Chains A and B, each alone.
Chain A
């Protein structure tokens, strides 16, 4: 009989094997994969949204009469302001409070006609005062910043004493500007009503199983009557969990017009309203003793998440080095008239790393220590006694491997000591993430021809969900991957959670492992008599069912499956099994990132030369797609560190770069050479699968920040490190 315990990576045939390719690669490269944006339905209408051009305004009136009369216009909904009605008007009493705020939506025969109609809607706005930037805490109006929250470890007296006793104390300002999720597939969906009481969505969503529940209340219909499908999604990064105003209005327009409606946000709207990562800035004071042991920390952090979005609180720093004995942390939020924050790939962590790892790097420099030695020396401060992970050990192993890969000891030199105008520097950062598996159920069906099917209500964000599920099934049944079909992306399948927080792999690997194991055991029970043994005596390997004690006594998988009979074996299993003392997944990982940059001190241009990520993910399931996620996180880190930033105009309150020309993303030539090392073996495998999407995102900005400081000899405080900021820091530091 099979049991659910994971094999270690050295004993497995499919887990952590680099040669296994993404199974949905071919439909993607052929252009066959259909995203919500690609869906065309018979008689489908195209909808567009009218957005507010003001950062803060009241609406005196909205006149849709001209738009209604235009040819090809089939339905109009007012979503905000006078005349707002229907399910999308839930904010009817709310005034537009940021640039891009949805006001009305039109469905028409073509995209062009819908845009014409949007332009024909007349809105009379009464402009009101706005505040959009949060760089300067002091400049924010008093009514925009509620009283700060403070937290203390130790006492005020012990903190003061620790700073007084410190051999070195540094003070600095650090931080990250707001960035957008900037999904390449804009937010949106196709909605249609197959019957008066039945609604179908094909949506770009990270949450296929909670989408219908979100809609059901609005339309006052049972969730069971709402079908949701998402086979492919063109980027989410934490911004596509909710149905949103545009999801509701799309179905409403469809109902009014009696035809399917597609509504995808325009690119400017995608950047204005469909998700941002909060800016976070910090003033930090940190001290250490003569040997470099960190003894005291004091910080004030602030930033903005829009009017009400979630912002990193004071507790997020000091990051990773949670054991600093004396610390005081204060946090303050600034409300701004900008599109609200959404969970952005590792909420709080990139910001916390960019404030903590930089301050510690400055302290190492003040102590004239190599930061690699300094961070190694302080690893005991990363310990979390009640966790299943031994952080100091993991970080030590990873730093050792990373230093070797990038040639740290050979290359590192003290700050600002490169000769000539182009300076070279190295930086590093540590990171972590929880990534525990979400709730998940999976159905496994075994047919008498030996084919195996998994059905699971999850979604593949490009992370490799389909591939990982196929690998788990192949590993469990000991059969080739081509016998396995994985069906996901429909809310009619057994429910899994939203794909966020790196929670997917822990959930789906566990439920699919249990479903496959139980299904296999049912097959073994049917095969056992033919092999003349009890089911307990059987195992599977290399496409055979065989007697464990007598491996020569075996039956090919297809023949064994033939014993099932006409009714397939069908098992639905949960992530957890009551009474099972050995969960198949755990939480918490550690990772390190190292960067080598060059900085041209005459132009202020920073270039990435090389980056190394060494990442722990517990048990690696799908090596290739796991590695791709780490690479992707490093590249996203380069974008945040050097290029991308939501730039808001103080005068007009508008977003100045709602497009891809001026909202800058790194191109293929901007990312340097990237290397990834995934940790496997003892200390890693036995912890079970833990998500990777987020963890690798957290170090890159901080390591690049430290590499820049190492190169030029001064700290460039705020990312992205654009030429103007680099040159300003050089001038201020007397190095221009």
Chain B
């Protein structure tokens, strides 16, 4: 396994050292700072090359090889067949690609896959229990029919979970403000508002 140094040359980790350990070893900003030279170098030559990366997704280490320009969203959808997060605007406006990174809500289309290394990534596929039992936020979406075509729904579910993790018992006004980063075309907002308030009761959404 090889990685690029800041001067653009390649450094191979000593045998026995894990990739993550190696990045830690080169230190500093770890992933993002370590990869920037790859992009620079790529621009000067024939094009960015695919690099092997490891992502911690839903509690599993997943290895894949992607170009540095590949977004976390495209890595999930095209390389790992995790298609719950949807591609809609592809530029950080609609929230359909919402996933969690280290417990924080992010738009998967606006994070590079290489930047997501080392972070704990959770997608909508991780919410239901091992027996398939729905997470309280998911159950509240079903109870309140907070979906029609359903394409924005997984992103909305993740946004609701992330919001409730931080605001376990929100008021309606807080919820409407907190969920302002997700768009729906079918018009399911009334159901979503009811769902987030139902799931929020008693702070049930810690799962």
Q: Taking beta carbons and an 8 Å cutoff, which residues of A are in contact with B? A: 21-22, 24-26, 28-35, 37-38, 40, 46, 110-112, 116, 182-186, 232-237, 264, 266-267, 461-463, 624-625, 627-629, 631-636, 659-661, 665-669, 671, 674
Q: How far is the CB of B164 from chain A (nearest CB, A)?
A: 15
Question: For the complex, is B179 an interface residue (Cβ under 8 Å from A)?
Answer: yes
> When the two chains form their complex, are residues A30 and B78 in contact, meaning their CB atoms are under 8 A apart?
no
B179 partner residues in chain A, CB cutoff 8 A: 668-669
- Decide if the interface of chain A is mainly helix, strand, loop or mixed: loop
Q: Which residue of A lies closest to B92 (CB)?
A: A661
A669 and B151 contact, Cβ closer than 8 Å, known pairs A185-B86, A267-B90, A625-B145: no
From A22, A38, A632, B187 is in contact (CB under 8 Å) with A632
In chain B, what residue has the closest Cβ to A630?
Answer: B187
Please name all residues of chain A whose beta carbon is closer than 8 Å to the beta carbon of B60 when the two chains form the complex: none
- The contact sample of 10 A-B pairs, CB cut-off 8 A, is A28-B154, A29-B154, A184-B88, A184-B151, A186-B88, A234-B151, A631-B187, A635-B189, A668-B192, A669-B177
Q: A611 CA to B128 CA in the complex, in Å?
A: 35
Whole-angstrom distance between the Cβ of A253 and the nearest chain B Cβ: 17
Contact call A632/B93, Cβ cutoff below 8 A: no
Least Cβ–Cβ distance between A471 and chain B, in angstroms: 14
B-side binding surface: helix, strand, loop or mixed?
loop
Chain A residues near B88 (CB, 8 Å)? 184-186, 267, 660
In the bound complex, what is the Cα–Cα distance between A233 and B96 (angstroms)? 15
What's the minimum C-beta distance from A609 to chain B, rounded to whole angstroms?
14
Q: Give the B interface residue count (CB, 8 A).
A: 57
Contacts of A184 in B (CB 8 A): 86, 88, 94, 96, 149, 151-152, 183-185
Are A29 and B83 also in contact (CB < 8 A) when A112-B69, A232-B150 are?
A: no
Establish whether residues B183 and A659, one from each chain, have CB atoms under 8 Å apart when the complex forms. no
Can you list, as one digit per residue, whether each of B148-187 has a CB less than 8 Å from chain A (1) or not (0)? 1111111001000000000000000000110110111111
Query: Which residues of the other chain, A, contact B69 by a CB distance below 8 angstroms?
Result: 112
Stretch with Cβ within 8 A of A (4 or more), from B5-13, B17-25, B34-42, B136-144: B136-144
The verdict on B134 contacting chain A, using a C-beta distance below 8 Å, is: yes
A668 touches B193 (CB 8 A): yes
Rounded to whole angstroms, the CA-CA distance of A631 and B188 in the bound complex is 7
Q: Enumerate chain B residues within 8 angstroms of A31, measured Cβ to Cβ.
A: 83-85, 123-125, 154, 157
Also in contact, A185 and B151, with CB within 8 A (given A38-B77, A38-B83, A660-B88): yes
Question: Which of A30, A32, A183 counts the most B-chain CB atoms under 10 A from its CB?
Answer: A30
Asked whether, in the complex, the Cβ of B153 is within 8 Å of the Cβ of A631, the reply is: no
Contact B192 A461 (CB under 8 A): no
Of A233, A624, A665, A667, most buried by chain B (CB within 10 Å of CB) is: A667
Chain B residues with CB under 8 A of A112: 67, 69-70
Do residues A463 and B148 form an inter-chain contact, with CB atoms below 8 A?
yes
Quick check: B145 and A25 within 8 Å, CB to CB? yes
In addition to A32-B125, A37-B86, 16 A-B residue pairs with Cβ atoms within 8 Å of each other are: A25-B147, A30-B134, A30-B154, A35-B86, A112-B70, A185-B88, A266-B90, A624-B145, A631-B190, A633-B187, A635-B187, A635-B188, A661-B89, A668-B193, A669-B176, A669-B180
